[in-house]
Every structure is written in structure tokens, then in C-alpha cells.
Structure 1
């Protein structure tokens, strides 16, 4: 928690004024009972109306000044805590953007969302309360005790006895509630995970009639969180009635013993009235402190989770001493005895992969499911780093480039086509911010997307829904390809990017790509033989290893694995 509070430095002047206003408000609250005592003892008892009006007007002025200070403190505390929350969310988001896929897998997307929203909100709310209470509560408590002792030292013994009792009650309740707050945040993660899976997988859920199963799964996670929340709130809710019971008994004893002291002439009526108000101020200061003790454990648990995100060092980092810049990553792409293990996996996903893909060439990668095709593609933009060996572009190890300069020269079309909320033009321009309308149109033509885009009501300004749900799978793939084309990179990576296209569109697209990528290195991962058979080089992967490399005709003669793939897809006449 304290580590996160360092981010308040830009707001230290605002925080100073918050503390100053709270201090002045507390002074006004402590001064008012003394003025009331003076009115009663010197004005009401003696019948001195001018004195009553004089001190009453001064009380009104003090109350008004305290009210203005309270308003100022509330406004400034909300402003500084809101700015703190904004800055912290930005910092967490920027840090998460540096994560490799390994860190995403480790924490989980659902948990990252919860930590960036719910957890930061918890810390922000407690911070706003702390700026008000951390000055007011101690000052009201100790100031009230001093003023009570000044009014009547003997009667103050009641307060001295009551305060430790209240402190013990607070400590007991909070010690039972702290562990449950940490558990609650984990269960919020679980609920968020189930909800996210339900929303993103709604088509699959409905198609398999698993709605009731998912409803039960959500209800279980929801009920688990609810039961924990009820348990912790029941514990914390017991704090207030216990404290109020103690406070009322304290007031009863004060009035009783105070009345006896007035009867014996040891105390004035006004002093007793002031003493009662000071006693209540002390007790309410402790109540405010107890509220902080209720909120701080949950915020502390949230702060620990936020710090876990910020303290996690990405596996993949830029080389030291190099500034990010746009690199001309032209030249041949080479894998040199590359091996790769997923974190925690017993067996390697790739073993001793070596090949070279030159400029102006199309290199295709084919193999069975789980053979490592997508893993190989993910190593090139450094989504993961190789375990052994090296990948070079133009003879330079990609680990010696900054991630920005490496990826600036890559146009990736992922296996799962991803579109963003916005227009079609904005989605294509995602590949290049300054792309002109003509660049966008040309990319769409090459990607075989122009025809269906032009048929839409608003053309390239037609909206794309969240996740691209208002276009078909094939249309999403073509728009993803257009997004890569408009970038004009030196390396194209197509990760099974033609699977949703019909054979005719597939053939037209590959023919158009040939003329468009004459000066670039092209890698195509595909399941279809028809997609890869015209490639300059075909790499056959089998169980994470290179089984064979060659052209279509060469591999038909030399590779059993490739021949089995071909015969499973093409007839004898097509093979011939």
C-alpha cells in the first residue's frame, strides 16, 4: 500500500491543502463545545442576552468556517484520489502492455481486468478516506481527551477506561475480517473469469445446449463470492452496534457522575454539556478510525495484487542501451537450431528447427495438429523467446533488436482473426496510422475484401461490432490480411489465415499476394495443401521437428509425412 502511495507525489500540494483544511475543520469542531459552555455558564445562567448573541454569532462564524474547510477538503481529496486512480490505471495498463504471452498466461486475463478496475477502485476509495480521517481522527481523539481533561479531570477517567475497550473491540473484529477480504478478491477473479468465458463463448454454449450448465457454473461462483461477502460483512457489521452500545453506556455514566459533581459544586452545567460533546467527539473519532480499519484490509489486499502486476518483470525485454526506432528489417529470415519449451512443459514444442526464408520467396509451413506451426510463427515477433538457438533477420539476432523495431517490419495475420470496434477503414488503418484512403482501398482489393466492403451501406466507413460479430469468418480474415498489407512490411506472417476462404477466393488472394510481396519475405502456415503447393519452399513439421524441406514435387517424392497429408486432401488426378 505504501509503495503505491508514492504515486501521490504529483498531488502533494493538493494533499497538503486537504490536510490543512481537515486540521482547521478539526480545530473548529473542538472549539465549538467550549463556546457552548461559555454561553450556558456566562450567558444563559446569568441572563446576559448580549453575551449570548455575541458568542452565538462567533459560534456561527466558526461553524461556517469549519463547513467551508470540510467542503474544500472533500473536493480536493476526491480530485487527488481520482487523479491517483487514473495514473495508477495508466501505469498498470502500460506495464501489462510490456508483458510477453507468458505473463498473460501466468496471471490470467480475467484477473488482470479485475486488478485494473476493481482493485484500483478499492485503493482509490480508501485513499480518499485516509486523507480526511488520518488527520481528523487522531486530532479529534487526542484533542477531545485534552479538552475533556481541561474541563474535568475526574470525569475524564470514564473516557480513559472506555477508549481501550473500544480499541480492543476494533482490533478483534478487524483481525477476523482481514483474511476474508483477501479471499474475496480471489473469488471476484473467479466470477469475472466465468462471466468472461460465458460472454465470449455464447455461440458455443448455445449450440451445445449448455446454457443451464453454464448458469449453474456462474451461480456456484456467484454464491461462493456472496457467502464470503456476507460472512465478512457480518463480522464488520457487528463493529458498529458494539461501539454504539459502549458509547451510550459511556454517555450514561458521564451524565450520572457529572450530575453528582454539579450537585456538589465541583462542575458547572455548561462544562458538563461541553464534556459530553467532547466525549462523543472522541468516540466518533474512534468510529471513523474503525471505518478505516474496515476498509484498509481490503485495500491492502488489492494493493498487494496491483503490486504483483507491477513487480512482475517481463521475460522479454529490449537490449540494454538501445533506443526504440523503426528498423528496416529486410534481409533473409533464418532459424538456427531453434528449440522452444513452453514454461512448465516437460516436452519441447519445437526442437532444432533450422531453415532460411529469403526476400521475394514464399515459405510455407505445414504439418499435423500440434506439430508446432503456430508456435514457430509466434517466435518471430518475439511473443515468446527461443529457449535455444537463434532467429536472425538480415543476419541480426532478433533479441538484439528492440521489440518496436522488430515488429515494425512484420505484418502478422493471426490464426484467429481479430477486429476492433470502429469502422472498416479504422481497422485496416490499424496496421498503419498514416495510411491514405487509396492505400486502404488498394489493400482491400489485394485482400479480396473490396467487393463485400463496397456492397455495404457506408463502404469503408461501415461499423465493425465488438469482436467483428457483424461480419463472417472469411470477411474477418480478409480484413485482417488487408490490415497487414497496408503496413507494407518486409516480413509477412500468415498463420493459417486462409482457412475460412473458399478455394476460389484463396487462389485469387494468393495470386494477388505474389505481385504485392515481391520484395518481402512471406511465411504461410496452412492446413490446406492447395494453399502451400505453389510456395518456393515447404517446411513439413512433425512433432515439433522439421521432417522435410523442399518444393511440392520434391516432397511428394521424399517425404512420407507430406505425402500422407496430400493424399488425405487431394485425389490421384489432382496429385498428378
Structure 2
């Protein structure tokens, strides 16, 4: 896991290598200064030798300046390496996410991916710079200081050794206990992010139903959950610092006590050497304190690294074959005994042994109640999902034989949730074809009846669209999405309930334009309004993941009870809602 993440250091490898080098240089200078202090006291101050004082003082100044240079360069290069690692991790994760199928996205959730790209990467970045700087500095400081301390006085240096063993044991215990707590904390971050995202996206609905208080309580509960998880984790690691302070001051007291005894009674230690030991004591123990900070950061980052690693290593469930086909012959579609379920362990599949054949250029209507798998059915055509069993054939070839980008370019899908991106109307439409001319953009808008309102805007096609298209109405958003899909000039066009917010007159104009302008394009229109599909060549009636019937309007009206009841409701005194069939005593379509 760590190896895989460190692969993303790439062009910042030299900075990452040089950071510890400069940190070691800084440590080396710091370790020399206590030795020089001992000589300064013993040879200069106590002997009253000004020449020695000036000489040794000059050496100390040079060491300090070199150490300062090493520290500055280590900080600069460490920051560059850690920020570079974070940049590359985000880039690599984002690139891999772009390859994900809908199934992969469902596995992680949108909010979870956002947290991994932001909070988790930041945790790893902070831990990495700590490891590069303090992670190398602290062990080298401890090792060199211990060697020099033992060289001065073995008995006093043994005090450091015992303290170090105690501290490392305690830190290992805390790390083992804290890691599961941080795992729980990050999962709660995911949940809170999901709640915030849902609230902001659906803000209009929240206000329409006066649910602000409910959402506030929901957020407060989620935030309190993070508070509790963070408190539990921090309580565990917070114990480390006070414990270290106790050890540090205990060492200072013991060194003072025994050092004074060795100087006064035994004469085995000089005043300068005792000062050096104090310096090394502080270096060792403060390095261990820094090491404690590192292990806290690492404890947090291990959970984050695992979450990042999962995204980096996730392979799309939809991949290209070894020798992909790069041309779709036509818009014919065939389902051969297709079985599909979002959850492969579920008792019943979402699509249950579906057989279907559609000729190229046909206009096909799709009707069905909520949960009847209408959207799932059409998702198989462009490989948004792959079937569990059976085959989906487009243009005479199994969709799995095609290059993924090729099949998706030839199948334009206008989903139920119409999404526009921040930018101008023209920029949004050119998602369908980035090289489209102004005339082609306007023609696509005209087919989708979007030109009617675009030209009324002061800036026309240069009108800025807010993120999500919040500054245009639902019907306008739908028409823009249809125009964007038409600009691809696809062999298959799928409208997944994409005219539900459009009035019936405009809906009729759009369907008329389809018949006249793109007769060779296969069109699948999912709708709740029977008027939107009754003039289609044939109509599919979906029921509980199966095709209940398939035929023309007249054929279905004559033989299919579900279709006849819908027709009578929507053209007579009914409410016009397909799902009302269940409430009126018709067949259960949910």
C-alpha cells in the first residue's frame, strides 16, 4: 500500500531524497555544538583563555549557520515533495475515477470519493512531510546523541536509554489502539459530506417543504458523531504528550542529581561535559517528542492511505476487450436473455431474462411503473452497466466487443437527472461535439426546441449557466440536455423521461423534429405520459423487470390490459400518472 502511494512522488523524487540529506546535515551541526560548548567551558571559561573562547565561539557560529542552511533547505524541499505527492495522488485518483463504471461509483459513493480526494490526501501530505523531515531528523538525532552521551559518561547515558525504551513501548501501544478509531472517524466524515451534498443539491426542495430545522438537526447529529469519534481518537493520542513530559523532566532531574555527584564527589565528570549531557538529553527527548507527533500523524494517515489505495487500485468493472471494434454499423439493438442485478447476491434480478429486438432507425417508446427497470434496461445499451447473463447486441455486435468510448459516442443518453455544468450555453452544448460549428450548435438547439428561449436571453448562446443549471428552469434544462445529445449525431438516442418538465406542445414539436431530421437514428423514449410514446413505431411495456408486451399503439390497446388502462386514464378522467394504475386496482407494476 505504502509503496503504491509513494510511486506518485514521480518528478519530486529528488526533492524527497534531498530533504533527509539536509535534515541530517542540520542534525550533525546541532550535535557538534554541545561538544564545542564543553570545550568552551572547560578550556576557555574555566581557564580564562580568551583565545580559546573566540576560536571555539567562531566554530559554533559556523556550525549554527550550516545547520540553519540545512534546516531551511530541508523545509523548502520537504514542502515541495509533500505538496507534489498530494498533487499527483489527486490527479491519479481523479483520472482513475473517470474510468469507473456506475457500479464502481456506487461502491464508493460520491461523498466518499470527495473525502478521499481532499481530507485523506491532505492527511497523507502532512504525514509525508513529517516523515521526510522529523522522521529522519529524530532517529539520527537520537542515535548520534546517544553515542556521544555514552562516550562522555556511560552511567548517565543509560538514563536516556531506559527512557527511550519506555517511550517507544507506550507509543506502540497507543498507535495500535488509535488506528481503528481513526478508521471510524473518516467513515463519519464520508457520511457528513454525503448529508451536506444532498442538502445543498436539494436546497430548493428543503425550502419548499420547510425542512430547514430537520436538516439542521441531521447535520448537527452528523457533526456530533464526528466530534465523538474525534474525541475518542484524540483522547488516546493526547495521553502521549503529558507522559513524554513526565519522562523528560524525570531524566533532567536524574542527570542533575547524578551529574552533580560525579563532578563533586567522584571527579569523573567536568562541568562542560555535564552541560553537553544536558544538551544531548534535551535533543534526545525532544526528538522522541517529535517522533510521537510523527506517529500520531502516521496513525491518522494509515487509515487515509488505505482509502486512497482502494481508489487507486480499483479497476473499472467495464473494460475494453483485447481487440476492440471501433465502428458501430447501425443502430439496431437486440437483447438476448439478459439478466442483470445491481446486487449480484439479491434473490431476484432487476432485469429478468429480457429478450428484445429493435431495428435501426425505429422509434421505440418505453412505459413502466416506478421500479419496473426502464432506466436499467437502456443503461445496458451504452455499457453504463454490464449484464450478468445474456447479451446486448448493437449494430450486430455484442456491446462488450466494442471500444467503450466508441459505443458511448454512438449512443447519446439524456438521463432523468439533467446535469449542466458551469459555463456558457454554447460550451454546455459542445459537450456533445467539442468541434461543432456555431451553425451545428444552433441546429441542435432548434431540434430540441431550445432555441426558443436561448435567443430571448440577452447574451444568447453565450449566456452563463450556473453549476447544475440552477439559473434555468427544469424544462429549459431538459431541452438543453437533449440538444447536447443530438449534437453527437448518434446512431442511438435514448431519452430517459427527459421531457417530463416540458409542456405537451413542445414535447410534440421535439418528437416531430426527431421524425423529420434524424430518421435513421434509433430513438428510445422512456416516458410516463402516453402522449409522448403513442406515435412511436413500437412500445415496450415494462413490468417488474420483465417485458410485459411489445408492439404498436393499436396492438397494445387491443391486447394489453396495462397499456389500455394507462391510455384510458391519461386520455380520459385519470390523473395521468402511470403509477396510479396500482391505486385504481390495476396490475401491480412497482
Question: Could you state the TM-score of these two structures normalised by the residue count of structure 2?
Answer: 0.93
Alignment counterpart, residue 314 of structure 2, candidates 308, 312, 323: 312
Q: Distance in 1 between matches of 2:506 and 2:331?
A: 30
CA contact (8 A) 1:327 1:409 kept: no
Equivalent runs, 1:123-162 vs 2, <5 Å: 123-162=124-163
Deviation at 1:321, TM superposition (A): 4.2
Q: Which residue of 1 aligns with 2:330?
A: 330
CA distance in 1, matches of 2:136, 2:339: 59
- Offset at 1:409? 0.8
1:169, distance to aligned residue in structure 2 (A): 3.0
2:510 is matched with 509
Deviates more, 1:304-313 or 1:251-260: 304-313
Name structure 1 gaps, 5 residues minimum: none
Shift of residue 301 of structure 1? Answer: 0.9
Q: 546-555 vs 144-153, which deviates more? A: 546-555
Residue 199 (1) aligns with residue 165 (2): no
8 Å CA contact 1:413–1:480 kept in 2: the answer is: yes
1:207 Cα deviation from its structure 2 partner:
2.2
Task: Confirm or deny that 1:106 pairs with 2:107.
Answer: yes
* 1:266 match: secondary structure: coil
Alignment check: 8 A CA contact 1:254 1:276 kept: yes
Give the superposed CA RMSD.
Answer: 1.7
TM-score, structure 1 as length reference: 0.95
**Cα distance in 2 between the residues matched to 1:345 and 1:482:** 38
Q: 1:533 to 1:128 in 2, by over 3 A?
A: same
Q: 1:321 to 1:271 in 2, by over 3 A?
A: farther
Q: Distance in 2 between matches of 1:268 and 1:388?
A: 85
Aligned to 2:285: 283
Per the TM alignment, residue 208 of structure 1 is displaced from its structure 2 partner at its CA by 2.2
In the TM superposition, what is the alpha-carbon distance from 1:527 to its structure 2 partner?
Answer: 1.4
The alpha carbon displacement at 1:348 in A equals 2.2
Deviation at 1:9, TM superposition (A): 4.6
Using the TM superposition, give the Cα deviation of residue 118 of structure 1 relative to its aligned residue in structure 2, in angstroms: 0.8
Q: Does 1:267 align with 2:239?
A: no
- Range that drifts further, 53-62 or 494-503: 53-62
Q: Distance in 1 between matches of 2:331 and 2:513?
A: 22
Counterparts of 2:302 and 2:318, CA distance in 1: 30
Counterpart contact for 2:22–2:70, Cα < 8 Å: yes
CA distance in 2 between counterparts of 1:399 and 1:419 reads 29
Q: 1:142-190 CA distances to partner (integer Å, 9 max, x unpaired)?
A: 1101111112223222222322222233233333322211111111112
- 1:255-281, CA deviations, whole angstroms, 9 ceiling, x for partnerless residues? 222122222422221111111101111
Alpha-carbon distance, 1:462 to partner: 1.0
Moved more, 330-339 or 375-384: 330-339
Inter-partner Cα distance in structure 2 for 1:425 and 1:205: 31
> Structure 1 residue 331: deviation in Å?
4.1
Query: How big is the shift at 1:554?
Result: 2.2
Q: Deviations over 1:297-326 (max 9, x none)?
A: 11001111222223333322211244xx85
SS of match in other structure, 2:535: coil
Q: 2:370, 2:186 → 1: CA distance?
A: 38
1:401-458 CA distance string (max 9 Å, x none): 1211110111111112111111111110111111111111111111111121111121
CA distance in 2 between partners of 1:326 and 1:435 (Å): 22
For residues 371 and 161 of structure 1, do their structure 2 counterparts lie closer, same or farther at Cα, with a shift above 3 Å needed?
A: closer
CA distance in structure 1 between the partners assigned to 2:543 and 2:263 by the alignment: 98
Question: 2:497 maps to what in 1?
Answer: 496
Distance 2:350 2:235 in 1: 51
Aligned pairs for 1:440-451 (under 5 A) are 440-451=441-452
The Cα shift of 1:513 comes to 1.7
Secondary structure of the corresponding residue to residue 155 of structure 1: helix
1:479-558 → structure 2 map (5 Å cutoff): 479-558=480-559
Question: Counterparts in 2 of 1:183-194, with a 5 A limit?
Answer: 183-194=184-195
Residue 235 (structure 2) aligns with: 234
CA contact (8 A) 1:327 1:408 kept: no
Distance 1:75 1:329, change over 3 A: farther
What is the alpha-carbon distance in structure 1 between the residues aligned to residue 100 and residue 63 of structure 2? Answer: 55
CA contact (8 A) 1:19 1:73 kept: yes
Q: How does 1:69-80 map to 2 (within 5 A)?
A: 69-80=70-81
Between the aligned partners of 2:370 and 2:184, the Cα distance in structure 1 is 40
Counterpart CA distance in 1 for 2:349 and 2:327 is: 31
Which deviates the most, 461-470 or 550-559?
A: 550-559
Shift of 1:329: 4.6
Q: Determine if contact 2:497/2:525 at 8 Å carries over to the other structure.
A: yes
Pairwise mapping of residues 558-569 of structure 1 onto structure 2 (< 5 A)? 558-569=559-570
Work out the number of aligned pairs and report it: 570
Once residues 328 and 5 of structure 1 are traced to their aligned partners in structure 2, the CA distance between those partners, rounded to angstroms, is: 41
Cα shift at 1:340: 1.9
The equivalent residue for 2:342 is: 342
- Is residue 218 of structure 2 the alignment partner of residue 211 of structure 1? no
C-alpha distance in 2 between matches for 1:280 and 1:167: 17
Tell whether the 8 Å contact from 1:329 to 1:409 is kept in structure 2 after alignment: no
For residues 319-371 of structure 1, what are the alpha-carbon distances to aligned partners after superposition, in whole Å with 9 as ceiling and x for unaligned? 1244xx85345242222222222214322222232233223321111222222
Q: Distance in 1 between matches of 2:322 and 2:519?
A: 35
1:345-384 to 2 correspondences below 5 Å: 345-384=346-385
The alignment partner of 2:125 has SS state of: helix
Distance in 2 separating the partners of 1:363 and 1:313: 34
SS at match of 2:416: coil
**2:460 equivalent in structure 1:** 459
Q: Following the alignment from structure 2 to structure 1, what is the Cα–Cα distance between the partners of residues 356 and 258?
A: 94
From 292, 295, 309, the counterpart of 2:297: 295
Q: Deviations over 1:87-140 (max 9, x none)?
A: 111221222222222222222211111112111111111011101122211111
Q: Pairwise mapping of residues 409-448 of structure 1 onto structure 2 (< 5 A)?
A: 409-448=410-449
Query: How far does residue 64 in structure 1 lie from its aligned partner after superposition?
Result: 1.0
Would you say the 8 A contact 1:336–1:391 is kept in 2?
yes
